[in-house]
Structure formats: C-alpha cells, structure tokens
Amino acid sequence: MLEFQFLFKLLSGICKIRPERQIIILLFLEELLMSNNPLFELSEAMVAAVTKAGASTVTVDARRRIPASGIAYAPDLILTASHVVERDDDISVTLPEGSKLAARLAGRDPGSDLALLRLETNAVTAQPAPGEASVGQLVLALGRPGTDGIQASLGVISAIGGPVHTGRGGLLESYMRTDAIPYPGFSGGPLVDAAGQVLGINTSGLAHGASLAIPVSLAWQVAETLAKHGRVRRGYLGIRSQPVEIPAAQQKVLGREQASGLLIISVEKRSPAENGGLLVGDIIVAIEEHLVADPDELFAALVGEAVGVPTPIEVLRGGQPQKLTVTIGERK
C-alpha cells in the first residue's frame, strides 16, 4: 500500500518536472514495475532457457521436405527423430552459429523413433545433465528447422506414461504428452524446462502427429546403445500369453502382493521359451526381479542388455513358484 501511494504521488508530480527529468523518472518507474512483475520474471527465465538449450539444438537435413531438428548428445553426436532421417547418406547438420557439417547415420531405433548422427569432428556443445519431468510442468518445445534461428512453443506436460503402443507398430517404454504446438521441423528437438534443462526429445512420428516427447532418460539410454551397437536389440521368448488374476492364496505363496501375471497359452518350437523349460500353463510373474503383470511389461523387460543373456524368470507352476533360466532371443 505504501508503495502504491509513493507511485501515485510521483506520477501526480511528474508533470511539474522538466522533460529531461521526466524521462529519467519514467525509466525508473519501468524498472521498478518490472522488478516486481512475476510475468516479466517468467518471460526472462523462458528467454534464458531457450538461449541455453538452443546452443545445443541443431538443424538436421536428411529428408526431401523441410529440415528437422536435433540435440547434441556428445561433441560429435546428434540425437534426432528416426522418422526425419529418410536417407542414409548426404546428411548435413547446421550448427547454431550457421556452419554446416556432413554427418553419417550412426544408428537408429524405429521403435522409439530415435536416430543418432555422427559428425566428422567434435563441433557441438553437448547438453548438460537432464532434468526431471512432472505432470503440469511448464515446458518449451524447441526446434531449429531452418536458417531463421531457434524457435519455441510453450505448453505444459499433460501426461506421463508408458509403455504405449505406437503408430509404427512398436512399444515405447515411456512417453510424455504435452500441449506445446509441434511446428513443422520440431521433431528431434528438445523439450526443456524453465531452466533450460532437457526433459525429452520431441517427435510427431509416433502417434499420427500428436505432440509427444520421449523422456530424456529413455532417449539417452537409446543414444548410448546406438553409439555402441548401431541398433537397439529387442528380445523375444517365443510364447503367446494373456493376463490372469493371481488368487490370494498363490500371492501368499509368492510372499508378496501381485494381482496378476501372464498365463502362457502356447510355446513355439525351438524357441528360447521351449529351450529354457517354460510350459503351457505356467504363469510368468517376474523377469529378473521385475514383476510382470501384462504383455507390455513383458515386452519392455526384453529390451537391450537382456538379449542373448541367461535371464531368471519366475513362474507359478501348479500353484507353486519356480525359477527358470531362459536365454532371451533377439526379435528380428
């Protein structure tokens, strides 16, 4: 209240002051008002966030249409969306300062819609440690699809979930949905928080144009695998299954609360499941200590390092728990 009275008196007397002093006073008032304006502070924070993350956001030219975006995963590696990389050669990356470098495809994972490009030299500023995402969080989707500089779209995280089946026939282990507008060329660019920390990678290639983001924890994991092996290995057991309820008595035998598991209804001949001793009628309840209650959880457990490795699988057989060791096969 005292501050308001001070401003009122100052504005009332400003007309009696010489013009050159009026300018000084008006500038002072503007600074005073801005310093106490939370919207101004938020706006400035957003500008700083875009500047920070924009230093690692590049243009990826790997298709006939408008170029897309990418984010520096390492000084010589660019992470982008797989669906925007339509050719394996003649790929170029334009850095924030405008220089253009040749790049080659180091690997891709259509299941998560991620691809990794390798530059001919260390030329980009890698992103710092990733941030943590929460539903309702204010976020910025960034893109650099051309020579006009960095672009941004404001929104909030409306959902975090997974696993989820994608329009490309895969299963994404986790995802974030935002209401930020996915402008053309934003795929492959970062989704960042108000401090400029990367929360995810934008993509419109998984859900028929909807604005999704691949959480940075999953994206970084896929990028690491692509850098080492050029692909993400996804496993299979060779079974058909369906969810079933686990009665209270059997939960007591398991020694834990677990409402459901996967009933095996068929086993392929000469499959990893048959070779490992899994039988029709077994109920899979856990893989390597991770509880399994539905087919999506089983699918998610058979990704990456599990492929080709003897893996403990816990089943209920005749109402009693058993542990088998199955070497997970690789799904082609």
Catalytic residue among 112, 187, 211, 241, which? 187
Is 131:197 a contact under the CB 8 Å cutoff?
yes
Task: Respond yes or no: is residue 113 known to be catalytic.
Answer: yes
Tokens 């079933």, located at residue: 244
Is 50:141 a contact under the CB 8 Å cutoff?
no
Task: Respond yes or no: is residue 83 known to be catalytic.
Answer: yes
The number of helices, as runs of H, and strands, as runs of E, in the chain is: 7, 22
Tokens at 81, concatenated? 């969306």
Catalytic residue among 83, 109, 153, 241, which? 83
List all residues 6 or more positions away from 235 whose beta carbon is below 8 Å from its beta carbon.
272, 302, 303, 306, 307, 328, 329, 330, 331
DSSP secondary structure string for all residues of 50-104: HHHHHTTEEEEE-SSSS-EEEEEEETTEEEEEGGG---SSSEEEE-TTS-EEEEE
Catalytic residue among 61, 76, 109, 113, which? 113
Is 323:313 a contact under the CB 8 Å cutoff?
yes
* Positions marked catalytic: 83, 113, 187
